[in-house]
Structure 1
Amino acid sequence: MDNTFSTYKIDDRSLIAFIKREIHNLALQLGFTPHRAAETDIIVAELTSNLIKYANGGELLYRASFTGEYNEIEIYCLDKGIGFENVAKIMNDGYSSSNTLGHGLGSIKRLSNDFQIYSMKNWGCVQYVRICEKPELQLPPLKNGLNYTTIAVNYPGEKLCGDGYYIKQTTKGFQIFVGDGLGHGESANEAVEAAIKAFRQTIETQPSEILRDIHSKVKKTRGLVATIASVDYKSETWSICGIGNINTRIYNGLENKTYTPYNGIIGHNIPRTLNNTVVPYKRHQIIIMHSDGLRTKWSLNDLTSIFKQSPAIIASALYKENIRGTDDATILVGKIY
């Protein structure tokens, strides 16, 4: 399954009809009824027209997700406009800042299965929308203590992503893999997909040994960088080990720490000595892992009340402010509950 998002810069109304048609056709391919696809059209039209009217443009990301239980479309809408301070107020039908009927955001909320919005004055706005094939579908409860979201986009112009991620459940807890194949395009994708296959199949349990195992199995590829973060429920610990520039940070409240990876390239040259960093695993922690498609000098503390938000909002806020646009980019945000 392709987990990457299609992304469009929207700065002209002429793009809106094209994007509506593309997402409409995607909805039909997923098995949405014509009526549900039409409701999806309304959501996309509201999001994109608002970008033009209120923010002088922005970015729309979308992807299809295929699960064992249902199919869905996820959409992120990002802008750097003037923003607003009272989200609850603008969500009410009848509120308008432009002398219109003011039904836009309210209709998005009614027609979607999940709608989240975050904004700050003079910072802009991020919106997340999930549209399932069945409008009445209740989203499944969270499992295994981890609520997470990923945003992955290709290098501009590429059809394949050189980044990859995978979360594996274990007998002791779970393990997170985030990797970045060298360069971008098909060869980078082959490297990271080979690494994910090795990660899924390995019998090793410690991140350092898993990385060694992956190293031995991807030597015929271009190579990659990767970090593995593993949780043991019984000992209540994270074990973290990385090779190359995957940025990994864990927040405990307002405090955070970045875990520095080793130098090297998996599949080519890795250090003789690899040690795991072991840290406490606690409720309400936030783990953030991303490739170098995003800048590394950021802080959640700069975003008002962001810690209360979902992983989807946190990921999109960081993406909006830190995307480089010169490489594949992947960001994974997980909250422990």
Structure 2
Amino acid sequence: MDADTGLWQVAEIDDATQVGAARRMAARLAEYAGLDDTRAGQLGLVVVELATNLFKHARQGRLFLRAEGEGDSAVIDVVAVDQGPGMDLERCFRDGFSTGGTSGTGLGAVRRVATLFDAYSDARGSVLFARLGTMPGPRRGSVALAIRGELESGDRWQFLPTPRGWSAAVVDGLGHGAEAARASDIVAREHAALPESPAHCLALAHERSRAGRGAAASIVAYDAGAASLVHAGVGNVAVSVVGLEDGRGLASQNGTLGAACPAVREQRIDAPRRSLVVMHSDGLSSRWSIRTHAGLRSRHPQVIAAALFRDAWRVRDDATVLVVETGEAA
């Protein structure tokens, strides 16, 4: 597979007109991704049903969409996120159940048409995730948004397959907008060239960033055979490894790529199968814990990423979170 990367589009569903806006967003995304009429129709159904559910039943609902690839190989992810009041998922996905006076078939139809579906709900709200298409490689999920008012984000994330496993990077260009995006692109290009050498990659990115804005970045290279990973980071891009029983944060070095940067060091740690590698820019608060969300640890990484984004997002910054599960593909 090629690199997996990219921003999400978002629609805030706060009145009935936004359902139509979300449908039009889905139509534009289908055209951009080169979907045929059948898949475009499926995407439209998923988006309209999830947006309608947000409008009728939720507080502060947002619908996130992202396309990876194009044509028959395109993968489209749709994620609905809200701030409560939560739902009884088992009942809501039974055809005929409704709290809004409708036929009660919408969410069941979403689950049937999706290639992959997962959901989570508690008192803080709900996350509903539908994927059209098949994503090769390990289970993973992301949310990435530019600060309000900017078309480009200074953050970048990138996931790459490697001969031994995979490599992931999250980069935060200083500031916002086009200059910050260019600073992040420098690191992303070096990561694409040297995905299995995090420290070497960051050292080269530092040298090639001297004339630009500068950036913070973390890179993780996972070795599936050894069930271990190597991490290197400079600046405030956070990385945590969450096991089935415990978790730990991985320290980055102080500094800025392209400005004041120490000799970059790597650390290697064990990462048993089904560990979660969570990486995020400082557009998310570091004060999160998967374990404060009962049952969230067992959900798909895309659901976990969306729940963490919902609860830890600092609205006044570009924000990116990437969650990758070690081990085999789903």
TM-score (structure 2 length as normaliser): 0.91
Q: Percent identity?
A: 28
1:113 to 93, 112, 115: 115
Match of 2:282 in 1: 292
Please state if 1:152 is matched with 2:144.
yes
Counterparts of 2:152 and 2:211, CA distance in 1: 19
Mapping of residues 115-134 of structure 1, within 5 Å: 115-120=117-122, 122-132=123-133
Measured on the aligned residues, the alpha-carbon RMSD in Å equals 2.1
Match of 1:276 in 2: 266
The DSSP-based 3-state class of the residue aligned with 2:86 is coil
CA contact (8 A) 2:59 2:85 kept: no
Point out where structure 2 has 5 or more consecutive residues left out of the alignment: none
CA positional deviation for 1:277: 1.9
The one-letter code of the counterpart of 1:174 is W
Counterparts of 2:169 and 2:5, CA distance in 1: 16
Deviations 1:258-306 (A, max 9, x none): 112111000111114x332221121111110000111110100011111
Please state if 1:190 is matched with 2:182.
yes
Please state if 1:321 is matched with 2:311.
yes
Counterparts of 1:2 and 1:301, CA distance in 2: 27
Match of 1:248 in 2: 239
CA positional deviation for 1:113: 2.2
Match of 1:81 in 2: 84
TM-score (structure 1 length as normaliser): 0.89
Change (3 A) 1:176 1:64: closer
Counterparts of 1:233 and 1:13, CA distance in 2: 47
Change (3 A) 1:2 1:236: closer
Match of 2:92 in 1: 90
Change (3 A) 1:51 1:229: same
Greater C-alpha Rg: 1
Counterparts of 2:19 and 2:71, CA distance in 1: 31
CA contact (8 A) 1:198 1:217 kept: no
The DSSP-based 3-state class of the residue aligned with 1:192 is helix
Deviations 1:57-99 (A, max 9, x none): 4111112221585123321111112112x42222111112234
CA positional deviation for 1:210: 2.4
Deviations 1:163-198 (A, max 9, x none): 112233334433222111001110011011111112
CA positional deviation for 1:219: 1.5
> How many correspondences in the alignment?
324
The one-letter code of the counterpart of 2:131 is R
Point out where structure 1 has 5 or more consecutive residues left out of the alignment: 133-138
CA contact (8 A) 2:160 2:168 kept: yes
CA contact (8 A) 1:226 1:242 kept: yes
1:217 to 193, 200, 208: 208
2:23 to 20, 23, 35: 20
Match of 1:226 in 2: 217
